[in-house]
């Protein structure tokens, strides 16, 4: 009988406990017109991750890519964006020759955008593009396309 009463009391105890009231918590002290250099409300971040697998007559492999884009609005028309990436050759986990893997952290891009009006937009970009076998499908990245051969 004592065990039954103890089980009933333990079962009803969570019902009797009141939840903490979060409605009247003090707000952190932040000035609305703060002149600090960094305002978190102007910061945005976007993350993406992708994986790929390739196979050909000479071999196969897989790659993983993580990208974090951080954008900060310095003023109303001026924004800066930094992309941070990490690329990993996931097929190297099963390879004997793992010294030839291309992995690591890099900065694939930085941009500065200034748009003082809807009719004017100035953008300064730096992009780091990986080197591929150019073929016919992604010939845009072929350096020979951009060289002046005259």
How does pLDDT run across 104-120, given as a tens digit for each residue? 778 889 999 999 999 99
Tally the domains of the chain: 1
Most confident of 31-40, 55-64, 117-126: 117-126
Query: Which tokens is 63 given?
Result: 């790659």
Residue 70 covered by a domain: yes
Residue 67 covered by a domain: yes
pLDDT digits (tens, 9 = 90+) for 139-150: 555 555 555 544
- pLDDT > 90: percent of the chain: 23
27-59 b/e with 16+ CB inside 10 Å = b? eeeeeeeeeeeeeeeeeeeeeeeeeeeeeeeee
Residue 31 covered by a domain: no
**For residue 73, what pLDDT band results from cuts at 50, 70 and 90?**
very high
Per-residue confidence (pLDDT) for residue 120, from 0 to 100: 94
Q: Which residue has the higher pLDDT, 107 or 81?
A: 81
- Closest C-alpha among 48, 52, 133, 53 to residue 83: 48
**For residue 45, what pLDDT band results from cuts at 50, 70 and 90?**
very high
Show the domain range for 123: 40-51+61-93+101-143
Residue 148 covered by a domain: no
Mean pLDDT of the 22-40 span: 66
Residue 130 covered by a domain: yes
Residue 129 covered by a domain: yes
Residue 21 covered by a domain: no
Residue 107 covered by a domain: yes
Per-residue confidence (pLDDT) for residue 46, from 0 to 100: 93
Most confident of 23-37, 105-119, 127-141: 105-119
**For residue 33, what pLDDT band results from cuts at 50, 70 and 90?**
low
């Amino acid at each position: 009988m004592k065990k039954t009463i103890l089980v009933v009391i333990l079962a009803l105890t969570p019902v009797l406990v009141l939840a903490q009231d979060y409605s009247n918590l003090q707000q952190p002290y932040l000035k609305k017109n703060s002149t600090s250099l960094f305002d978190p409300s102007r910061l945005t971040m976007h993350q993406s991750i992708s994986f790929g697998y390739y196979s050909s007559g000479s071999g196969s492999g897989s790659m993983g890519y993580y990208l974090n884009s951080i954008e900060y609005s310095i003023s109303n028309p001026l924004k800066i964006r930094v992309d941070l990436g990490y690329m990993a050759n996931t097929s190297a986990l099963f390879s004997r020759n793992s010294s030839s893997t291309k992995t690591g952290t890099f900065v694939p891009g930085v941009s500065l955008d200034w748009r003082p009006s809807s009719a004017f937009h100035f953008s300064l970009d730096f992009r780091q593009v990986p080197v591929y076998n150019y073929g016919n499908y992604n010939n845009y990245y072929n350096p020979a396309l951009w060289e002046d051969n005259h």
